[in-house]
Chains A and B, each alone.
Chain A
Amino acid sequence: MTSTVDPTTDEGVGESELGRARRRKEDEHLITGRTRWTDNIVLPGMLHAAILRSPVAHARITGLDVSEARGKPGVVAVYTGADLAEEQGSLPCAWPITEDMKTPNAPALAVDTVRFAGEAVAVVVARSPYEAHDALDSIDVDYEDLPVVLDLETAARDGDLVHPDLGTNVSATWVFDSAEAGSGGDVEDAIRDAEVIVERTFRQQRLIPAFMEPRSVVVDPTASQITMWSATQVPHVLKLMLAMTLGLPEHKLRVIAPDVGGGFGGKLQVTPEEVLTLLIARRLHKPVKYTETRSESMLAAHHGRDQVQKLTLAARRDGTVTGLKVELLADMGAYLRLVTPGVPILGAFMFNGIYKFGSYRFACTNVFTNKVPTDAYRGAGRPEATFAIERIMDELAVELSMDPLELREKNWIEHEEFPFDTVAGLTYDSGNYEAATAKARELFDYDELRREQAERRERNDPVQLGLGVSTFTEMCGLAPSRVLGSLSYGAGGWEHAAIRMLPTGKVEVVTGSSAHGQGHETAWSQIVADRLGIPFDDIEILHGDTQSSPRGLDTYGSRSLAVGGIAVVKAAEKVVAKARPIAAHLLECSEDDLDFEAGQFRVKGTAKSVGLTDVALAVFAAHDLPDGVEPNLDSEATYDPDNFSFPHGTHLCAIEVDTETGHARIRKYVCVDDVGHVVNPLIVEGQVHGGLAQGIAQALYEEAVHDESGTLLSSSFAEYLLPTAVDLPPFVTDRTDTPAPGNPLGVKGVGEAGTIASTPAVVNAVLDAVRPFGVTDVEMPCTPMRIWHALRDARGGTK
């Protein structure tokens, strides 16, 4: 078995649409090529922009001659940073984590200094993309090299500076201490009193989100409103930030995110390319398109992760953990983008994982280097945190000669203890770690695999078996706005929905949650079909356009269903509430005598009924409405939850490591995720699969590598190893169902689960395979070369 949801049967088919494996509404146009990618958009008179990017990581621009390029065929204009200096402002950072955070000026087009290889230096606008790219070769730039700051630990000690005007490479330091917060004890006491101390330093390599659709932006300034199409996750945030950053009147801007080919946090951004295209189109009064190449995307779209985490875990000999201290260095890159400084903070609340130890201290130092900025990447902070706690729990298990599952059981929060106030200051809503772990253990055949592992060790098999355990929880559903505010994030986290009841009984649902592959159209239709009794196919979901969907905070952090989906529920409840007095009037009864079920208002105890669609038509005609009733069933709702939601799960990985070549091959991967109630199991399973692929890729394949001059060596898919179909195993996925108590659907969020849990499961498995040879750590990605080197070193340098 590799799948628990058989897509050929409708799991959970019943009276309710919820829980049903509906095929996606989105798919028909995507599988037939009738797509609306931004790069497909063609407008009359449209021009094309191409960007000259710095080949060096840190330099002063001492000469920039664009005169020859201006004369090239098809070229309409060429812009330098000096041309746009006054109007371009500074790219926004919406998360000032401390009052004294150092925030450098971040121009969209470099003015006199470049600070990472790939930074935009000049822009050519031409009649065709080919002509625009041709002209880039004619631009002459003189660079005077400046010292390149790359290594995170060296950068943190200052010396050479990325931004000399700031006087330091440290952007900010941020601390959480459980003793100060009142959520636990003093971690230094715990360390002093510990019977066992485990200290480890983990490195989260730099990753590239690598959405399949390169970023693209089209700006049409020719009407009274400027319209921007962008391959973005966040059209609403983008519109607001462009207005605030560029001083553009907000009502004069419309942002559309049409089909968007993946994001993974990589399109949660206000990009230099969006700003530049807008400024240029506005200057030229013509539509302009910019579409990046893949190599440009790798160089200039933000990266993820890139942290060094030093952990000290205090415990007793019986395995009880008593405290955790985390000292973290986080690479910001050369500038602070939209949420760059906040990513490590999101992890700060998750380093305690599913465990209930008594003291915790987290301190992070955000550091500038001459690399492209980091920012959100699938899970944003939480994968990093989960990796660290799950790796060090395994180290403690080794130290105590305990089974890693037994150690987790000894420390985890038990089912009956929820809701649980954690040492990191959160309240976990619900969970059943016992159930998920038991199910995973059984599906995995844990005991049998342990037996096989012992046999292989016994007979010195060159191919050793390793078993990796990872348990996790994460905070989804970002909101609550007041919590985001307390963390100094610049915006709220609520979400908006509207329902428009059309006269024919069809329904338009407007959502502020802007999808890029998650299946909102299907899931939201199921929710509305369930709540209003309207047929699934009679429901249309409108999203990703700030004109049709004026309010929203978009899609990231697994917030869509747990926040946006609940806004849809609330809007549906308002439709029914508005329809009720009208239905009572039509049926000549009291409102109190009405039941609403499956789209019908029925007079209790009788056969008399009227459908919601009939009410909609009656409202439209408005011939016979109760006195004072507005002829309108439309509704809108904004939902801001009281708490995050906390999905969890247990992932188990069996890996075979060839100790002669270092090659690691996943033999079996089992995960049991608990994401609360599920609206569409097909979509949920798909999200888990994709998440696993990205988490496994961090463990085994992917890394953004720079040379000593700061050049990105992994600047194409030839060098940055996205896993192919051959590299990944079949996954065995299953679920338990512990509903979220905080929302009416009981849903929690699933988009990041696979990514968060799988990386430590795989690395723990690799280490479990090679520990008998004395290997204590392998840095990610655990490539054959790294594993082989670790084995060689552990064997004393000889094979």
Chain B
Amino acid sequence: MRITVTVDGTQYTDDVEPRLLLVHYLRDRLGKVGTVVGCDTSNCGACTVLLDDRSVKSCSVLAVQADGHSVTTVEGLAENGNLHPVQEAFREKHALQCGFCTPGMIMATIDLLSENSDPSDEDVRHGLEGNLCRCTGYQNIVAAARDAAQRLRENPAATEEAAR
């Protein structure tokens, strides 16, 4: 099947098998290897991307379902060397160790903050429940999400820019 997808601002048209998963399309066809595969049961969230600005686990979406839509991966966040506020917060708060869950965690956090601009610790923990991390014990991820929320509130322009 022929699909047209905008990924990180660039439009791609490709013939794909109907069964091809979005995550494999991103990784193997487009070389967007920043998005990773951590499990085969949609439990870990490592492959989370934004599909039309809402987070999805790209291992549970077929590439053909993304036809006509836009996808944002972790590689599309930083612009001109400027990190997204969520990326900045993850670095500042030491919210990653091995970094494998991090792209998915960052994408899930962006979606969470788009719904709730000032989440409590509990809100963040519930909001990120679908993303597993084996290194951090989550505490610094929670701190990073709240720090990012503050950065975004203080600089709404960054929010809008990030959304584009």
Residues of B within 8 A of A211 (CB): 98, 100, 134
Contact B99 A27 (CB under 8 A): yes
- Closest Cβ of chain A to B54, distance in Å, is 19
A and B contact pairs by CB, cutoff 8 A, 19 listed: A7-B140, A8-B92, A23-B91, A27-B96, A30-B102, A34-B75, A37-B33, A40-B33, A130-B17, A212-B46, A212-B132, A261-B99, A293-B40, A295-B41, A519-B97, A690-B97, A690-B137, A716-B41, A725-B128
> How far apart sit A42 and B128, CA to CA, in the bound complex (Å)?
32
Contact B83 A31 (CB under 8 A): yes
Residues of B within 8 A of A35 (CB): 33-34, 36, 99
B66 within 8 A of A: no
Contact B40 A716 (CB under 8 A): yes
A518 within 8 A of B: yes
B87 within 8 A of A: yes
- Closest Cβ of chain B to A544, distance in Å, is 13
Contact B39 A7 (CB under 8 A): no
A380 within 8 A of B: no
- Closest Cβ of chain B to A47, distance in Å, is 14
B133 within 8 A of A: yes
A689 — nearest CB in chain B belongs to which residue? B137
Residues of A within 8 A of B102 (CB): 30-31
Contact B98 A516 (CB under 8 A): yes
- A24-B139 contact given A294-B38, A518-B97, A725-B128, CB 8 Å threshold: no
Contact A689 B98 (CB under 8 A): no
Contact A692 B137 (CB under 8 A): yes
B94 within 8 A of A: yes
A26 within 8 A of B: yes
What is the interface residue range for chain A against chain B? 35 or more
> How far apart sit A690 and B128, CA to CA, in the bound complex (Å)?
17
Contact A262 B92 (CB under 8 A): no
Contact A24 B94 (CB under 8 A): yes
- Closest Cβ of chain A to B135, distance in Å, is 5
Residues of A within 8 A of B33 (CB): 33, 35, 37, 39-40
B69 within 8 A of A: no
- Closest Cβ of chain A to B63, distance in Å, is 12
How many A-B residue pairs have C-beta atoms within 8 angstroms? Tell me: 185
B77 — nearest CB in chain A belongs to which residue? A32
A728 within 8 A of B: yes
Contact B41 A213 (CB under 8 A): no
Contact A212 B133 (CB under 8 A): yes
A676-734, CB < 8 A from B: 682-683, 685-687, 689-694, 716-718, 722, 724-726, 728, 730-731
B43 within 8 A of A: yes
B52 within 8 A of A: no
Contact B41 A30 (CB under 8 A): no
> How far apart sit A7 and B140, CA to CA, in the bound complex (Å)?
9
- Closest Cβ of chain A to B133, distance in Å, is 7
Contact B94 A682 (CB under 8 A): yes
Partner of B132, one of A260, A687, A717, A731: A717
- A717-B43 contact given A28-B91, A214-B38, CB 8 Å threshold: yes
A521 within 8 A of B: no
Known A33-B73, A37-B33, A213-B100; further 4 A-B contacts with Cβ < 8 A? A31-B74, A42-B31, A212-B134, A693-B136
Give me the 5 closest cross-chain CB pairs, A-B, nearest first.
A33-B34, A261-B100, A517-B98, A30-B99, A717-B43
B142 within 8 A of A: yes
- A33-B98 contact given A517-B135, A689-B140, CB 8 Å threshold: no
Contact A517 B99 (CB under 8 A): yes
A395 within 8 A of B: no
Contact B99 A259 (CB under 8 A): yes
> How far apart sit A31 and B101, CA to CA, in the bound complex (Å)?
10
A290 within 8 A of B: no
Contact A32 B101 (CB under 8 A): no
B56 within 8 A of A: no
> How far apart sit A24 and B34, CA to CA, in the bound complex (Å)?
19
B51 within 8 A of A: no
Contact B87 A31 (CB under 8 A): yes
Contact A722 B134 (CB under 8 A): yes
Contact A213 B98 (CB under 8 A): yes
> How far apart sit A693 and B142, CA to CA, in the bound complex (Å)?
14
Partner of B142, one of A7, A262, A725: A725
Contact A725 B125 (CB under 8 A): yes
A2 within 8 A of B: yes
B44 — nearest CB in chain A belongs to which residue? A717
A18 within 8 A of B: no
Residues of B within 8 A of A725 (CB): 124-126, 128-129, 131, 133, 138, 141-142
- A212-B98 contact given A32-B77, A32-B83, CB 8 Å threshold: yes
> How far apart sit A90 and B94, CA to CA, in the bound complex (Å)?
42
Residues of B within 8 A of A130 (CB): 17, 19-20, 24
Tell me how many residues of B have a C-beta within 8 Å of chain A.
61
Residues of B within 8 A of A730 (CB): 121, 139, 142
B46 — nearest CB in chain A belongs to which residue? A212
Contact B96 A30 (CB under 8 A): yes
- A7-B90 contact given A32-B75, A33-B74, CB 8 Å threshold: no
Contact A690 B34 (CB under 8 A): no
Residues of B within 8 A of A214 (CB): 37-38
A210 within 8 A of B: yes
> How far apart sit A722 and B138, CA to CA, in the bound complex (Å)?
12
Contact B96 A31 (CB under 8 A): yes
- Closest Cβ of chain B to A238, distance in Å, is 18
Indicate with 1 or 0, residue by residue over A108-128, a CB within 8 angstroms of chain B CB atoms: 000000000000000000001
- Closest Cβ of chain B to A726, distance in Å, is 5
Residues of A within 8 A of B103 (CB): 31, 33
Residues of A within 8 A of B93 (CB): 7
Partner of A295, one of B24, B40, B99, B124: B40
> How far apart sit A517 and B24, CA to CA, in the bound complex (Å)?
25
> How far apart sit A294 and B100, CA to CA, in the bound complex (Å)?
14
Partner of A7, one of B38, B98, B143: B143
A225 within 8 A of B: no
- A686-B97 contact given A31-B74, A717-B132, CB 8 Å threshold: yes
Contact B92 A23 (CB under 8 A): yes
B30 within 8 A of A: no
Residues of A within 8 A of B163 (CB): none
- A212-B40 contact given A7-B140, A722-B132, CB 8 Å threshold: no
B106 within 8 A of A: yes
> How far apart sit A210 and B134, CA to CA, in the bound complex (Å)?
8
B35 within 8 A of A: yes
Contact A726 B125 (CB under 8 A): yes
Residues of B within 8 A of A27 (CB): 90-91, 96, 99
A264 within 8 A of B: yes
B145 — nearest CB in chain A belongs to which residue? A725
> How far apart sit A516 and B140, CA to CA, in the bound complex (Å)?
18
> How far apart sit A24 and B137, CA to CA, in the bound complex (Å)?
18
Contact A32 B87 (CB under 8 A): yes
- A260-B98 contact given A3-B143, A690-B135, A728-B138, CB 8 Å threshold: yes
Residues of B within 8 A of A293 (CB): 39-40
Partner of A294, one of B44, B130, B140: B44
Contact A690 B136 (CB under 8 A): yes
Residues of B within 8 A of A23 (CB): 91-92, 94
Contact A37 B100 (CB under 8 A): yes
> How far apart sit A42 and B24, CA to CA, in the bound complex (Å)?
14
Residues of A within 8 A of B24 (CB): 130
> How far apart sit A683 and B98, CA to CA, in the bound complex (Å)?
12
> How far apart sit A8 and B137, CA to CA, in the bound complex (Å)?
19
Contact B34 A517 (CB under 8 A): no
B36 — nearest CB in chain A belongs to which residue? A37
Residues of B within 8 A of A518 (CB): 97
> How far apart sit A554 and B93, CA to CA, in the bound complex (Å)?
27
> How far apart sit A725 and B73, CA to CA, in the bound complex (Å)?
22
A297 — nearest CB in chain B belongs to which residue? B39
Contact B92 A7 (CB under 8 A): yes
Contact A718 B41 (CB under 8 A): yes
> How far apart sit A26 and B97, CA to CA, in the bound complex (Å)?
9
Residues of A within 8 A of B39 (CB): 293-294, 716-717
B9-53, CB < 8 A from A: 17, 19-20, 24, 27-28, 31-41, 43-44, 46
